[in-house]
Structure 1
Amino acid sequence: MPAILPDGDPVPADGALPSGALDGLGTRPFAFYVHVPFCVTRCGYCDFNTYTATELGPGASRESYADTAVAEVRLARRVLGDADLPVETVFVGGGTPTLLAPDDLGRVLAAIDAEFGLAPGAEITTEANPESVDDAYLARLREAGFTRVSYGMQSAREHVLAVLERSHTPGRVPQVVDWTRKAGFEHINLDLIYGTPGETDDDWRASLEAALESEPDHVSAYALIVEEGTRLAAQVRRGELAAPDDDAMADRYLLADDLLSARGLHWYEISNWATGPDAACRHNLLYWTGADWWGVGPGAHSHVGGTRWWNVKHPAAYASRLAEGVAPAHAREILDAGDRRVERVMLELRLAAGCPTGLLDDTAVRRLIADGLLERAPYAEGRAVLTRRGRLLADAVVRELC
């Protein structure tokens, strides 16, 4: 969730959506994202909307945050009316969500269930830092109804973690994964980052192998992006750290795909591998396939029926608006048919299932097949699917097709 919010159209004080956004409500999958904007320290590479205790200021706190989030859940019910909207997935992200007490996270989840109802077998995920949980915390989280935990492992090398300003030690990850399983969680994701300045190919291989030793059913591997305004960007600009190398990044992506696939985790989205369909992150799949979701929290983004909006950024402003009975949305945009087509192509093409060729220019599709960037066989079935090389050049492929 980027810290800088875009401009857009104003949102009514009661949060009411355009009538067209409510057309078909309930016929599309529905989800909640809950943003918890608190961190102990800010990592040097991170540009998410997060706040340490010293940055937070008056008007908001960790202790009161669950009550504020519950108020927005109730607002969502009023805005969306009486439509039957069983919630298929809930994803709690941040920040560091597990800086909140597990009972607080459970209260937000209980409010979603009370207002909308959780669908049978709903996927309920929280992100966590390895150092932010212990066995007792995880047991309480499972009791509250969470089904999946996503850990920010990032690397197994101490010097790489130091550049990223991550505070956990490599040995912490297998310990918390063991606790997570003992607490009754079946689904565990490990997030990795490749391309950190100073990381070698051997470092990256060691991180992948360490992640695999914990036997997660899901691994996410993301190329490091040097975001403007971060400490990392300043270090790169001053020449203190080298900028990530594109060729090295491509090699590390291929190594990840090789090692993960060899251990039974197969790609289903460019940066995500899972042991099977049941292990894929259903919440993210809803994002990538055009579902509806309500984003709770400061800076959180929402999408319902082609209308997208985003909340005010600071936790104090967010809490103040809800306390006054005013919707916390900062601005919104209504996507037209062209916007929705482009967005659908951009997102679905990232998936192993690909994108319907009916959305695309056939000449461009054939040219990309000839160039080895799209698979030939799925074309006959009406799907455009990236080849392995195409995954490395996905942005260029999307530009060609859009």
Structure 2
Amino acid sequence: FACLCQWACDRAPPAMEEYEKLYRLGSGGQGKILKVRHRRTGLEYACKMILCRDNHEMNFALREIKMLMDLRHTHIIGYKDFFIHRDRYEDLYVCLVMELCEHGDLSEKIRDAKRKHVKFSEARIIKWALQMCSALKHIHGHDILHRDLKPTNVFFTAQDDVKIGDFGLSTAISATGRRTIVGTPYYFAPELMLQQKYNSKVDLWGLGIIVMELCTLKERPINSQVLNNPQVVDEIATEILRYGFSRELATVTKELLDKRPECRPTASEFLVRFASTPSDVSKGPALLPLCDLCQDRPAKFRCPSCEDEAFCELCDAQQHRAGGKRAKHQRNSLHQVEGAVLCDGCMEGPPVVRCPECDQEQYCLKCDQTRHRNPKRQGHVRHPLPGLPLPAAP
């Protein structure tokens, strides 16, 4: 790193002068991140200033830069420049000028979804997961590990695409595996917690944690739980299914969170697995509401008399039980209010028919057959939804 360090030092004085500091974007244990503007071009960037107490820490920071300068990918934060800077207090900083993503990170998206009691559509989750996997495949192809993949290190563009950033804990992959324990403890893979050798599968574990949180909107110490009981991933898969997501997404999340690294899919395998997933996520609802009371099950009704809160079927029955003060409240089908296209019966699959004699409710094939199996309803005339043929019973 001697030549790299000397090059950075030689050009440090003019480099800092090339940028106008606008304001601080954030700070952490490694230093701070500023929004800056290039004086000559007027272009705006993020400048990560890594505080270095000695030459050893400066070399560690420069090692990050050396690897990052070789990474060029659509879903990886782009790095433009770097230099060494001493401020007026004689503090030493290694500065990285990088692409600016002003549309938040994944942790903010998850927090916002929790606050609004809504969840992400499966198409959107898979889209982001595929983009992250594409970036991981590129990173691993350069023999680099990220080692700290988590929601706060996944950033958004204006087009709702993701970019992986913050490679401060990245490292070159050793043929015999790594042993250095770094990263965020909450997102540690089991092999990191056991201080075992590890490889690129630690990044796939991080992807599994992210997908789990996107599906369930819950944080949980899954790493320690998996070490105590490897079957806990079955509970995760069941929970994902209960939220209305596909079995394929539940299964791949379970595999990503496998205690055994060799059983987790690689980034390439994940990409192949979901290669046929439609890229157009604008069709269908982007967000699906959760019950305002239990904040767990999908909501089915909205009650204007209860401060416009939305309830799942169970909580609605409790809130509006017969004989109670709220029994006469008029509730609306949430699907009519929100415009979500889901079956009124199971609230999971898309509806294919509407039954005027069942309060205009819409049903998927399975729920339609179940509901109209009753002799009293067998004579109901159902109408296929626009653009969908009336399915024949199997």
Q: Same fold (TM over 0.5)?
A: no
Higher helix share: 1
Higher RCO (CA < 8 A, seq sep 6+): 1
Normalised by the shorter chain, which TM-score bucket? under 0.3
Q: When the two structures are superposed, what TM-score results if normalisation uses the length of structure 1?
A: 0.25
* Structure whose CA Rg is larger: 2
